[in-house]
Amino acid sequence: MKKVMAGIDLHGNNVMVGIVDADGRRVQHRKLECDLRQIDQFLTPYEAHLEWPPPRKSE
């Protein structure tokens, strides 16, 4: 698997978590409860492939 990026949108009682590839294509997304264990469980399979810091877009 190539490098991917994660995004998290925090709401009052849930979070939307998404994984996208370098081309911006959605790899996976899910609505989760505001529970760190659930978020960690969702992200763990991608841990070795997460890119940080995110790449800068050339202008």
Res 54: pLDDT: 65
| 33 vs 58, more confident | 33
**Residues paired with 14 in a beta bridge:** 33
Residue 28 in any domain: the answer is: yes
Residue 29 in any domain: the answer is: yes
Q: What is the DSSP string of 10-43?
A: E-SSEEEEEEEETT--EEEEEEEES-HHHHHHHH
Domain encompassing residue 32:
4-49
Residue 56 in any domain: the answer is: no
> How many domains in the chain?
1
The pLDDT mean for the chain works out to 91
Element (H, E) at 7: strand 4-10
Residue 15 in any domain: the answer is: yes
Question: What digits encode the pLDDT tens for the residues 10-22?
Answer: 999 999 999 999 8
Torsion angle defined by CA atoms of residues 33, 52, 5 and 7, in that order, rounded to the nearest 10 degrees: 30
Q: Is the dihedral of CA 21, 24, 27, 31 positive or negative?
A: positive
Residue 31 in any domain: the answer is: yes
**In this model, does residue 57 exceed pLDDT 90?**
no
Q: Rounded to two decimals, what is the model's pTM? A: 0.79
